[in-house]
């Protein structure tokens, strides 16, 4: 998943980026409101971690800006401010959560996981599909007591498709989600096709894979009832 960290404190933004990278997130960092606004306009993020006290303005307006641009990112406000009014203002504008500094990085990660579950209607950290079970926390896919040997990227692709079940995702959407922001001119759709082919091959040893559909000329779709 792609994350934008909007934080002017360099040590903190770096620590968050390193921690989330270890948890398989792809992170960008913006240290000013202007820089964040440019990144939000150009790129698509799953999460935006937002400090309110930026050197060139209040970060709250970035929430409204993203919503007006129909961006689907989930916002978590990170701030040292303790005023109840700031918390209420952020939540009223559409923020998904609020975490006061100082905070623990594992708690931040847990809140991000909880938001993902709520957003996609999951009650726990597992997804069951066609005799297979994906354990999101431990990053495994298994059939009974046998584990499907997926690479990191294969797991991430399948996870994203399952979260967006019954929805067609373009090759570009999948590529941006897994590898981060890319220049469209440099995009090679065959790269994603190869990963999907390998994913189907591995899964087919345990279950039928006709639910993983290729939508000709567009991308892919997981069909779940």
pLDDT reading at 185 higher than 50: no
If asked whether residues 7 and 110 sit together in one domain, one would say yes
Listed residues 63, 92, 119: the one ending a domain: 119
Listed residues 119, 141, 176: the one ending a domain: 119
| pLDDT tens profile 211-222 | 999 998 899 999
If asked whether residues 14 and 97 sit together in one domain, one would say yes
In the chain, DSSP finds a helix count (H) and a strand count (E) of: 8, 14
If asked whether residues 46 and 113 sit together in one domain, one would say yes
pLDDT value of residue 122 = 83
C-alpha 138 chain-centroid distance: 17
3-state percent breakdown (helix, strand, coil) of the chain, nearest 5:
45, 25, 35
Q: Does 23 or 82 have the greater pLDDT score?
A: 23
pLDDT value of residue 183 = 47
pLDDT reading at 137 higher than 90: no
- Inter-residue contact 51 to 8 (CB < 8 Å): yes
pLDDT value of residue 184 = 46
If asked whether residues 67 and 143 sit together in one domain, one would say no
Looking up residue 177, the CATH number of its domain turns out to be 1.10.10.10
If asked whether residues 44 and 98 sit together in one domain, one would say yes
The alpha carbon torsion through 106, 109, 115, 116 (nearest 10 deg) reads: -130
If asked whether residues 76 and 20 sit together in one domain, one would say yes
If asked whether residues 55 and 79 sit together in one domain, one would say yes
How far apart CA 222 and CA 225 sit, in angstroms, is 10
If asked whether residues 132 and 178 sit together in one domain, one would say yes
- Inter-residue contact 30 to 36 (CB < 8 Å): yes
Residue range of the domain that includes 145: 126-222
Q: What is the mean pLDDT of residues 135-159?
A: 92
If asked whether residues 106 and 22 sit together in one domain, one would say yes
pTM, to two decimals: 0.80
Q: How many CB atoms lie within 10 A of CB 69?
A: 10
| pLDDT tens profile 80-136 | 766 667 777 778 888 899 888 889 999 999 999 999 988 888 878 899 999 999 999
pLDDT value of residue 101 = 84
pLDDT reading at 176 higher than 90: no
How far apart CA 112 and CA 25 sit, in angstroms, is 11
Looking up residue 26, the CATH number of its domain turns out to be 3.40.50.2300
Q: Assess whether the previous peptide bond of 102 is cis (omega < 30° from 0).
A: yes
Q: What is the mean pLDDT of residues 28-36?
A: 95
Q: What is the mean pLDDT of residues 139-156?
A: 93
Where does the pLDDT of residue 70 fall: very low under 50, low under 70, confident under 90, or very high at 90 and above? confident
pLDDT reading at 38 higher than 90: yes
If asked whether residues 163 and 216 sit together in one domain, one would say yes
If asked whether residues 107 and 141 sit together in one domain, one would say no
Listed residues 84, 102, 119: the one ending a domain: 119
pLDDT value of residue 181 = 60
Contacts 24+ apart (CB under 8 A), 110-119: 111/76, 112/47, 112/74, 112/76, 113/137, 115/47, 115/74, 115/76, 116/1, 116/46, 116/74, 116/163, 119/74
Sequence-ordered alpha helix ranges (H) in 98-164: 105-119, 152-163
If asked whether residues 159 and 196 sit together in one domain, one would say yes
Tally the domains of the chain. Answer: 2
């Amino acid at each position: 998943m792609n994350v934008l960290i909007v934080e002017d404190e360099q040590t903190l933004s770096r620590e968050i980026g390193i921690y989330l990278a270890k948890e398989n997130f792809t992170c960008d960092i913006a240290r000013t409101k202007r820089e964040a606004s440019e990144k939000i306009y150009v790129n698509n993020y799953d999460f935006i971690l937002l400090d309110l006290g930026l050197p060139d303005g209040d970060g709250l307006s970035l929430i409204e800006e993203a919503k007006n641009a129909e961006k689907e990112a989930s916002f978590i406000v990170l701030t040292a401010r303790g005023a109840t009014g700031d918390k209420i203002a952020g939540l009223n504008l559409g923020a998904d959560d609020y975490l006061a500094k100082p905070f623990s990085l594992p708690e931040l990660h847990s809140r991000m996981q909880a938001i993902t579950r709520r957003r996609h209607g999951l009650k726990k950290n597992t997804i069951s599909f066609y005799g297979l079970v994906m354990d999101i926390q431990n990053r495994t896919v298994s059939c009974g007591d046998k584990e499907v040997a997926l690479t990191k990227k294969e797991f991430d692709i399948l996870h994203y498709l399952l979260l967006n079940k019954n929805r067609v995702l373009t090759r570009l959407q999948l590529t941006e989600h897994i590898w981060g922001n890319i220049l469209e001119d440099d995009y090679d759709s065959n790269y994603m096709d190869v990963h999907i082919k390998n994913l189907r091959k591995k899964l087919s040893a345990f279950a039928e894979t006709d639910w993983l559909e290729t939508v000709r000329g567009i991308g892919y779709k997981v069909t779940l009832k």
